[in-house]
Chains A and B, each alone.
Chain A
């Protein structure tokens, strides 16, 4: 591999110039990247490549770590900028032609050596192109995950029912990731509104299995640590049966069949009663009372 390293070193400027020229012809993305940036990145990669080649032929080895990370960084930033996966892989693959040209120039008279070196070079670049593709995919996945997160936050609003009483109606399935978001949101709102009671309504949760129950229990425990109490409402008959069958222990948890019962409980526990006023103005009927005064 030292041959390859030397060839690259000796012809660095030419290889780079041809590479950039070939790239610009194939991929016109001046809108996303300036020529200077491209120039810089190509230069960096070429240097890293040379160093890697000197260390060995297996790109999974330690000597290639900084090159891989450089590529991963370039790929990730391009993914974020909006390049397509092909465009990103082309960045590496278009290095083949100028590299092979340089190899032929130096080894043209020794066909066996030429073949071996070209083969080594192509294996190398193919491997590196795959590295970029993987990094690209990983970055897009991260983006999707983040968007999913934002969507989750939006879909579980925390509502204030009364002073110190919050309600959290959950619609849809509760998986681990969603529970995290829901939990954080709820607890933060508890602090912000100084609410001692939080009603978690699960009418809209289709199934409650052991995992979901665990998630809910974690939320309840965390709220308790902070000084707030949770009431679970909207427990449908099927869910009640499932909970008992699964042997889930809800001894320490307050539950009610529906939200209004839970609200009544929270009111009661916070020392309040709802009282019908003795004589609302309408109780005398609309014919009597203040409305009539206008006609006098």
Chain B
């Protein structure tokens, strides 16, 4: 069996966020995710891609297929070399701040996926990995 399929794309402007949505949608459709699961994953991707762009000052998204042979799913990795998240626990708390607040939307995205992990520190950029099973 060949290497797990994966693809990386840049997130540098708001058009890329739309592209990211479409890419994840494509992959999820190919893997035959249910409509609701697809919607949840694509929406999470949209949130996180926008985050990478707005807060992380641009970065990349990597999609890869996981669990071949076992429980199939999709993994998304969002990376940026931005300012990093000083207080991860706070960022995960709910509460969309309207207007010009942080509104990182991470808590909400966490509920849309099965696996969620963040690696981040001030000055070191951010790496968010999420996965959703079929």
Contact = CB atoms under 8 A, between A and B. Distances in A.
A144 to B, nearest CB: 13
A69 interface: yes
Interface in B1-25: 1, 3-4
Nearest to B2: A66
Interface in A127-179: 135, 138-139, 142
Contacts of A72: 68-70
Contact of A138 (B3, B4, B71): B71
Contacts of A259: none
A149 B4 CA distance: 28
B4 A69 contact: yes
B71 A69 contact: no
Contacts, number: 29
B69 A142 contact: no
Chain B interface, >50% SS class: loop
B36 A184 contact: yes
B71 A75 contact: no
Contacts of B70: 72, 76, 135, 138-139
B1 A69 contact: yes
Contacts of A71: 69
Chain A interface, >50% SS class: helix
A114 to B, nearest CB: 33
A71 B70 CA distance: 10
A13 interface: no
Nearest to A44: B1
A85 interface: no
B3 A142 contact: no
A76 B3 contact: no
A190 B8 CA distance: 39
Interface of A: 44, 66, 69-77, 135, 138-139, 142, 180, 184
Interface of B: 1, 3-4, 36, 68-71
Given A73-B69, A74-B69, A76-B70, 12 more contacts: A69-B1, A69-B4, A72-B69, A73-B68, A75-B69, A76-B69, A135-B70, A138-B71, A139-B70, A142-B71, A180-B36, A184-B36
18 contacts: A66-B1, A66-B3, A69-B1, A69-B4, A69-B68, A69-B69, A71-B69, A72-B68, A72-B69, A72-B70, A73-B69, A75-B69, A135-B70, A138-B70, A139-B69, A139-B70, A180-B36, A184-B36
